[in-house]
A and B are shown apart, each in its own frame.
Chain A
Amino acid sequence: MQQTALNPPKRYHAYQNILQCYDTVIASYISGSGLPYHWLFSEHWGFYYYDAERFYYRRHYSRYPLWDALRKLYKVRKTMFTDIPLTALLDSPRFAQKKQMFVIADEFDLPWTPEYQNIHHPHYFLLTDYDKAGHKVYVNDWWPVPYQDWLDLSMLEASFQEMGEHAFVLSEPSFHYSDALLLEQMEVAYTQMTGWEDNGLSAGIYGIRRFQQDILRMGQETASFIDRWFYMVKLTIEAKYLFLEYVLFLKVERGCPIPDAFTQLLERTINGWFSFRNTMMSAKIRKSLQPDKLADRLGKVVELEQACAEQWGDIMQQTRLSVQESADHSESGESIR
């Protein structure tokens, strides 16, 4: 795929940070192939609770969920490269042919990023061209600051090395929309919201309730988990934001019957999670942990999550009826012809 310059992915939520660098660069790649990328986030509202040390927004808590969606919905294969110098990757026949290399580099050394010479932080972006004679690469980056330009390769080499020389390429994505897929993904999200219990796993609302019970049971012992929970809840919230972006896509681009009240409810639920997470950490900082107060915050999250599940169930039902109606019309149209 020849792509010197890609476009930034179209976003429906006003919050600029709803997609971060990793999401943005993958979304741009999918969009660059003329496909909608939002389906990547169609299974991001989950909550999977195993025990106080292990909960996540995906069943496979050790794997970045975007890859599951890329494989399942877009048939994309990823090829990783590790411990190979950047020049060797760019000199390879593969790059000459595909003009595509996703790289991870240290923001500290990337002059267009806000954290240049400030903070060491891994950053993902895409290289789409290489001028060997000029010792330059073409960078595509959209978050947090857009940058699409040639960059002196020497500026990138050390930064790439600093993050462990990790890069990857993706195969050509393919995606075929169908009403059946829409309904299937809506059903998956609904099941993730309502949840279930199975072999030590409590998912969805069951999982949040079990988390709440564990906080009450552990009492002050909870304090030793706060740093870990703060991070795990952060990932859960980021995933929920991405699901919200997907819901807005369904509303705008697929015409799904999603009222504004529902997207507002999703936002309130995200705020409920923020309230829980930040109450937990502020209590740690102030050395004033009250497990019952914390459990109460999570109780509010449960109420909001239940309302989300109920309304999503209604939206799914209306969508199913609407799809059925269109199918009926289409069939009767054919019979007339």
Chain B
Amino acid sequence: MSIMRQQAVPISLDAHLNWKGVTWRELDIQGQVDPRGASIPGEVYPQEGSLNIGGIPFHIPASNSAREDMVSCEGQQIVCSKPGQYETLIVLGFSVFGDYSDFIGFSYENAISELKPLELTDWFQYYPNKSALFGEETAFEIPYFLDEAEEVARPVAVWLQRIPCNPALTLQQIRLPDNPFMFIVAMTLT
């Protein structure tokens, strides 16, 4: 049975959310993404649901509860809900306390697997006239971040990174790197 090439398929990360990064001050919900206590203000973060960036749909998890709202990479194995032939995995994410070039694993049918670089620049490396270090696009800017409850008027960014898959093979699972300071907020296969 041949499997048709899939359209863009947002991956649900709900079962893998393990980090609370978004703060809602008025709801007394505290997130934290780095050792210094920095977090993302909920009021400038995309709301739960579909987010379209350059025609690509992503599913953003809910952030306005105490529940985790992003994935800290710890080698998780993500099973594709729609196995298929894809050209690219598109990741929305960022790193903290470093720029990391690690590996993401793709498992295809017939026990074929491959490792591809997953590179995410530190979210602090966002400057108006400077590209991200690994060629990522800016998915969205966060105009200020929170240091505990204080606003710091220093823009940071969530990046959009593209990782090529093998479009001749049916992708079944994705294995994340083992670096907890690489954060993924959404992923879509195209």
Contacts and interface: CB of A to CB of B under 8 A. Distances in A.
26 contacts: A15-B99, A15-B101, A16-B133, A17-B99, A114-B127, A114-B130, A144-B130, A145-B130, A230-B35, A234-B97, A237-B98, A267-B101, A271-B101, A271-B102, A271-B177, A275-B178, A278-B180, A279-B74, A279-B180, A281-B35, A281-B181, A282-B19, A282-B72, A282-B180, A284-B35, A285-B32
Interface of B: 19, 32, 35, 72, 74, 97-103, 127, 130, 133, 154, 177-181
A275 B179 contact: yes
A227 B35 CA distance: 9
Contacts of B100: 271, 274
Given A274-B98, A282-B181, A286-B19, 11 more contacts: A17-B133, A114-B127, A145-B130, A274-B102, A274-B181, A275-B178, A275-B179, A279-B178, A281-B97, A281-B181, A285-B35
Contacts of B178: 275, 279, 297
Interface in A259-294: 267, 271, 274-275, 278-279, 281-282, 284-286
A145 B98 CA distance: 17
B179 A15 contact: no
Contacts of B72: 282
B72, B130, B179 — which one has the most chain A CB atoms within 10 A of its CB?
B179
A15 B95 CA distance: 15
A119 interface: yes
Contacts of B74: 279
A199 interface: no
Contacts of A275: 177-180
Interface of A: 15-17, 114, 118-119, 144-145, 227, 230, 234, 237, 267, 271, 274-275, 278-279, 281-282, 284-286, 297
Contacts of B32: 285
Contacts of A297: 178
* Main secondary structure on A side of the interface with B: helix
A56 B98 CA distance: 19
Contacts of B180: 275, 278-279, 281-282
Contacts of B127: 114
Given A17-B133, A114-B130, A278 B179 contact: yes
A16 B98 CA distance: 12
Contacts of B97: 234, 278, 281
Cβ-closest 7 pairs across A and B:
A282-B180, A278-B181, A114-B127, A278-B180, A275-B178, A118-B154, A271-B102
A118 B133 CA distance: 20
Contacts of A279: 74, 178, 180
A274 B179 contact: yes
A209 to B, nearest CB: 20
